Chains A and B, each alone.
Chain A
Amino acid sequence: MLGLQNLYYCINIRPVTTLEQEKLLLDGLAQESKESIERIYREHYSMVKSLIINNNGSSDDAADIFQETMIVLFEKAKSGEFELHCQLKTFIYSVSRRLWLKKLQQSSRFISQNELLEETIPVEDDVEHHEKKQNDFNLMEAAMAKVGEPCKSLLEAYYIQKKPMQQIASDFGYTNADNAKTQKYKCLVRLKKLFFAQYKFSE
């Protein structure tokens, strides 16, 4: 039922205003803007929720799937090559649906043949791409977990929280920024080793 509705959106030319708004929203997403995230949640969460709930899922599943969909969307927006050919809504629906299907398949070896039959827009590549990225992310996360303190905090402060070296030096009690920097590079070398120990080049 939902699929048909979305097909309708897909063949319809989107009004320019919506297009512009959605473009802005995606730009915001690429900047990790909370306002953009919130708007997307408010507009589309209930749709994904009913999709999951109507197909053997719980509200927890719905929250998880929407989160993952947001990450797929973020990755797309970040890549800069994302051109939305139909409404954002359709894309979100399609990705969530695909992710949920995969989860159902993974978790129980079967899916009910009668459910989720309708295709919306093909997002298999996006989801696959996302899985690869997720994997890379997990590897880095695992390396981070293994790198130990103070390295972990130091690296996080610099590379994630993007604090200036000066501040990091005083936060971590180094005599000056240069010392902190040297320490940071030592940590980075360790992190790199840990990362490549697990990383397998696919090509």
Chain B
Amino acid sequence: MEDSLLMDAVERFVKGEMSAQEKIYFEDLRKNNPELDQTVVEQIFFYNELEKYSDRKNFTIALHEVETKLSEEGIISRNLPKGKGKLIQLWARSKRTIAVAASIAGVVSLFIASLVTSVAKQTPTNIKPLVEKLNQQENKTRQIENKLNKLEAGVNTPIIKPRLDAKFRATGFMIDAVNNYIVTNAHVIDQAKHKLIIENNKGEQFNAHSIYVNPEMDLAIIKVDDHDFPKMATLPYTIKKTNAELGEQVFMLGFPKQEVVYGEGYISARNGYQMDTIFCQLSTSANEGNSGSPVINKNGELVGVINSLETNADGVVFAIKAVNINRAIAEVKKIKGNEAIAFKGSNALKGNDRVNQIKKLQDYVFMIKGN
């Protein structure tokens, strides 16, 4: 109760509502009673915090009202309609602090929503597809590099194709070296609004077009169009017939940058995000551009295709189980003109050391670019 009285005094003191006489008395009291003074200091501090909180809160409410108004005018667009505002608004403001807790409860629906509507390109907030958006700067740098390389080599390439001004980069790999089919993620193909190309490790680009896109499995199959695409030997890998084992060591090749990058890790869970059985979980690091990277075990068997990473956690990467590639191939077979597709692989990687495995593998892994 005394605390309440003191608070009243402090409040009036801070607001300047005390009479001169009262003020003198109050300050006298503080001077002569260090313990009380300590409490007063604390209360003034608290009172100021409360004031700041109140101002911020009022501002946030005003902010939200303006936002709602402008949303109605179409100036601001949000995918998630912000219903009765205030609560959601406040949630939005403090979501960083509660993000961890929320991710446990909130993610289920988010992810399901994304599965259903992934055609409409909704990505759950803490799952990050690994396509890298390229900016013009990088394109230019690359063009200059290419020119320099050509000058250095002193070779005039006989066929000069205009190079694509790519807007994104991801990874894909060969699944049929006879008919030149390549697999990558559906969300990668989603990015290709106009043009799609593949680029090999020599920097040569070839036109391709998408044959099959399955957003549910996040798999897509594309076919190389160009006739000058070099003939390739039989695939040095096979698709593992069973699911990858927990703890199984794996490695991957992908294009998080403009050259092939090697990564390794292990299978850390049998299922993917929220127990999604299409996916499995890896413990490794993946970056933008890694989407569509092949995940291969030590015997040279394909166990998965990288598709996303969890942004809330460190080193949690998801891959589509490789068995799904068989499903995709079966479906492509039904598409007119693509009946010939077949996965013919060998176990050429088996028994090789890692360096040799990579050497053999890297010709079959491509950059997927487009705009």
Contacts and interface: CB of A to CB of B under 8 A. Distances in A.
A155 B7 CA distance: 14
B90 to A, nearest CB: 7
Given A70-B63, A135-B97, 9 more contacts: A59-B79, A60-B80, A67-B63, A107-B128, A117-B137, A134-B93, A140-B49, A181-B8, A195-B49
Interface string A56-81: 10111001101100110011001000
B287 interface: yes
Nearest to A139: B49
A55 B92 CA distance: 21
Given A42-B75, A138-B94, A114 B137 contact: yes
Contact of B63 (A71, A78, A117, A188): A71
15 contacts: A38-B69, A41-B66, A41-B67, A41-B75, A56-B133, A66-B76, A67-B63, A108-B128, A110-B288, A115-B135, A137-B53, A137-B93, A162-B54, A186-B4, A189-B3
Interface of B: 3-5, 7-8, 42-43, 46, 49-60, 62-63, 65-67, 69-70, 75-80, 90, 92-94, 96-97, 126, 128, 132-135, 137-138, 141, 285, 287-288, 309, 311, 314
Nearest to B46: A192
A183 B209 CA distance: 72
B54 A160 contact: yes
Contacts of A58: 79
B92 A64 contact: yes
B62 A34 contact: yes
Lowest 5 A-B CB distances belong to which pairs? A185-B4, A140-B53, A107-B311, A114-B138, A37-B66
A27 interface: no
A134 B96 CA distance: 10
A159 B58 CA distance: 10
B271 to A, nearest CB: 22
Nearest to A77: B59
Contacts of A133: 52, 56
